[in-house]
């Protein structure tokens, strides 16, 4: 780029940046893996649905609980910096000092973002419901070196530029859940609580301008991805008719994934925990 660094701190980390390898995401591999989990979940839920049907008498009443195709839309709120796991890469990037980031300067609350998805819900009797669903979340946050600027010899000193990057986090959770409906699945007002597991297909990327061991600014991309199985709990309420349902839901998940040690990140982990508030809309059928 022809830029050099006029103020250089934290040189040990930047030397590691200059020497690191750059692994590439394989989106085809990720979505093939997602597909295999979806197929396995569909087989499990299909078996549960068949078993339930076989238990029912031929003269089943209209009060039989309905199956539901559920759609969700809301916000995902990652863990705050004071509760993230030790070694988390975002905490390490910020390197907070006296209430502010001292290494990479970015909005520590900026990873809050939209999430949306869908799920298939099957009643198991009047008070239990099993489900499998897929959702999506991605957020990119602008970042810059807090104490470094680029010195371009072709510009006046006062026009020195920030050294900027983008930090991106993505999760595609495949959730297998069980709900308890204390008022029953045929009551028009249906509060519920439940839990299960999230198989989260995650990716993390840092892209933009960095500083090498010779104090030169260069452009590059550092990224890693993987799969993490995490526990999840949920609670919500919905109003249901014979054909539709509408409601709201809270979900919480916790877990951290190990980052590739050759990827050049400052921290060895990425904390994937957080919670979401979502509106739900369901299409119900027998």
Residue 152's pLDDT is 64
- Quick one: pLDDT band at residue 157, thresholds 50, 70, 90? low
Q: Which residue has the higher pLDDT, 282 or 149?
A: 282
Judged by average pLDDT, the poorest of 2-11, 102-111, 162-171 is 2-11
Cα–Cα distances in Å, from 224 out to 22, 169, 244, 263? Answer: 9, 10, 40, 7
Residue 173's pLDDT is 97
Residue 20's pLDDT is 35
| pTM confidence score | 0.78
Mean pLDDT of 15-20: 41
Is 53 strand, coil or helix? helix
Cα–Cα nearest to 25, from 273, 204, 269: 204
Residue 14 above 50 pLDDT?
Answer: no
Alpha-carbon distance 128 to 26, whole Å?
A: 38
DSSP code of residue 160 = -
Pairing of strands 269-271, 217-240: unpaired
Residue 213's pLDDT is 79
Judged by average pLDDT, the poorest of 161-165, 232-236, 273-277 is 161-165
DSSP code of residue 216 = B
Is 250 strand, coil or helix? strand
Residue 121's pLDDT is 98
State percent of the chain over pLDDT 70: 75
Q: Which residue has the higher pLDDT, 258 or 61?
A: 258
Q: Which residue has the higher pLDDT, 19 or 132?
A: 132
Residue 233 above 80 pLDDT?
Answer: yes
Neighbours of 104 (CB within 10 A): 24
Q: Which two tokens stand for residue 72?
A: 């969700």
Neighbours of 203 (CB within 10 A): 19
Residue 99's pLDDT is 82
CATH architecture of the domain with residue range 4-52+69-285: Beta Barrel (2.40)
As a whole number of angstroms, the longest Cα–Cα distance in the chain is: 86
Residue 59 above 70 pLDDT?
Answer: no
What beta strand segments (E) does the chain contain? 4-5, 67-78, 96-97, 100-101, 104-106, 113-123, 128-151, 161-180, 189-211, 217-240, 244-253, 256-258, 269-271, 274-285
Mean pLDDT of 230-239: 98
Q: Which residue has the higher pLDDT, 50 or 239?
A: 239
Structure confidence by residue, pLDDT tens digits, 63-98:
789 999 999 999 999 999 889 999 999 999 999 888
Alpha-carbon distance 48 to 150, whole Å?
A: 61
Q: What is the mean pLDDT of the chain?
A: 83
Cα–Cα nearest to 10, from 89, 109, 108, 92: 92
Q: Which residue has the higher pLDDT, 152 or 105?
A: 105
Delimit the domains of the chain by residue range: 4-52+69-285
Q: Which residue has the higher pLDDT, 189 or 16?
A: 189
State percent of the chain over pLDDT 90: 65
- Quick one: pLDDT band at residue 156, thresholds 50, 70, 90? low
Structure confidence by residue, pLDDT tens digits, 23-41:
333 444 544 444 454 445 4
Q: Which two tokens stand for residue 29?
A: 């591999």
């Amino acid at each position: 780029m022809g830029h050099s660094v006029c103020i250089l701190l934290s040189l040990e980390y930047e030397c590691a940046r200059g020497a690191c390898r750059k692994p590439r995401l394989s989106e085809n591999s990720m979505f093939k893996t997602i597909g295999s989990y979806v197929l396995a979940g569909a087989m499990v839920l299909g078996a549960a649905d068949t078993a339930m049907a076989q238990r029912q008498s031929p003269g089943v009443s209209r009060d039989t609980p309905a199956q539901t195709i559920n759609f969700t839309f809301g916000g995902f709120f990652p863990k705050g910096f004071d509760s993230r796991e030790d070694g988390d890469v975002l905490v390490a990037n910020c390197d907070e000092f006296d209430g502010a980031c001292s290494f990479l300067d970015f909005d520590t609350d900026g990873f809050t973002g939209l999430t949306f998805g869908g799920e298939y819900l099957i009643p198991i009797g009047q008070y239990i419901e099993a489900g499998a669903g897929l959702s999506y979340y991605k957020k990119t946050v602008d970042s810059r070196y807090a104490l470094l600027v680029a010195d371009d010899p072709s510009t006046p000193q006062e026009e020195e530029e920030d050294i900027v990057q983008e930090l991106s986090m993505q999760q595609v959770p495949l959730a297998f859940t069980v709900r308890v409906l204390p008022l029953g699945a045929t009551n028009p007002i249906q509060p519920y609580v439940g839990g299960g597991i999230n198989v989260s297909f995650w990716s993390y990327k840092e892209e933009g301008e960095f500083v090498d061991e010779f104090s030169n600014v260069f452009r590059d991309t550092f990224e890693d991805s993987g799969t993490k199985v995490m526990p999840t709990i949920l609670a919500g309420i919905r109003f249901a008719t014979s054909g539709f349902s509408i409601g709201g839901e809270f979900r919480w998940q916790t877990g951290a994934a190990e980052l590739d040690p050759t990827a050049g990140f400052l921290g060895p982990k990425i904390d994937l925990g957080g919670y979401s508030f979502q509106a739900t809309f369901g299409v119900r059928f027998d």
